[in-house]
Amino acid sequence: MNLEDIANEFSTVKDDDLSKVASLVRQQLQLELAVLEIEEILKRTKRNLEEISGQLLPAALGEYGLSELTMADGSKISVQTVISASISKERQPDAHDWLRDHGHGDLIKNTVSVTFGRGQDDAAKDVVRVLQSNGLDPEQKEAVHPSTLKAFVKEQIEKGSEIPSETFGIFIGQKTVIKKGK
């Protein structure tokens, strides 16, 4: 089929065909807009839930000296302590030094990777021995898994151990949990 045949084929498209396409385009645009609006509603709803669960309800219960409450319908509300931690890229050297200096270096995972070009399959099999002799430059990445860090920080806080809050991005807060009645 040549260009002239293709042009002739397009010129025979009926108005009905184009209106169907236009209608589908409009529907797609409306759905894309609806998805954006729903995502914004979801973000706002999550923020509101976090504010009530993490601030307003624990504070309201605290005003009455309560950490738990059972409602008339059997639902049980309890306030739990939430601990989170994270190591930012900027603070990673300090955090890793602190962990090593305090006997917790085993929490740090070390990943060493090397990119080999085509035809270097044999070199890849003997990575450790071949790296330096072939002048390959390995890339090293150190990290503490977020779940491991969270568990470690929680354990240290519960023991009463000193741990630098800023270095480990530690946040301690409260959150209410509601278990519905039967």
pLDDT at 130 over 60: yes
Average pLDDT over residues 113-123: 73
pLDDT at 123 over 90: no
**In which band, very low, low, confident or very high, does the pLDDT at 128 lie, cut at 50, 70 and 90?**
low
This prediction has a pTM of 0.60
Give the C-alpha distances (Å, rounded to integers) separating 116 from 88, 128, 155, 182. Answer: 30, 13, 41, 60
Closest CA to 143 of 87, 102, 84: 87
Report the alpha-carbon distance of residue 170 to residue 87 in Å, rounded.
Answer: 9
Q: State phi, psi for 102 to the nearest 5 degrees.
A: -105, 20
Tokens found for residue 25: 């385009």
Spatial neighbors of 133 by CB under 8 A, at least 6 apart, are none
**In which band, very low, low, confident or very high, does the pLDDT at 165 lie, cut at 50, 70 and 90?**
very high
- ∠ CA 138-141-147 to the nearest 5 degrees? 155
Average pLDDT over residues 135-159: 86
Q: Where are the domains of the chain?
A: 3-66, 81-179
Give the C-alpha distances (Å, rounded to integers) separating 161 from 32, 157, 158. Answer: 51, 6, 8
pLDDT digits (tens, 9 = 90+) for 4-24: 665 555 555 566 667 888 888
- Are residues 70 and 76 in contact, defined by beta-carbon separation less than 8 angstroms? yes
pLDDT digits (tens, 9 = 90+) for 72-81: 999 999 999 9
Residue 6: its pLDDT value, please?
Answer: 58
Spatial neighbors of 108 by CB under 8 A, at least 6 apart, are 96, 99, 100, 142, 143, 144
Report the alpha-carbon distance of residue 171 to residue 144 in Å, rounded.
Answer: 17
Report the alpha-carbon distance of residue 34 to residue 39 in Å, rounded.
Answer: 9
DSSP label at 74? S
Give percent helix, percent strand, percent coil of the chain, each to the nearest 5.
55, 15, 30
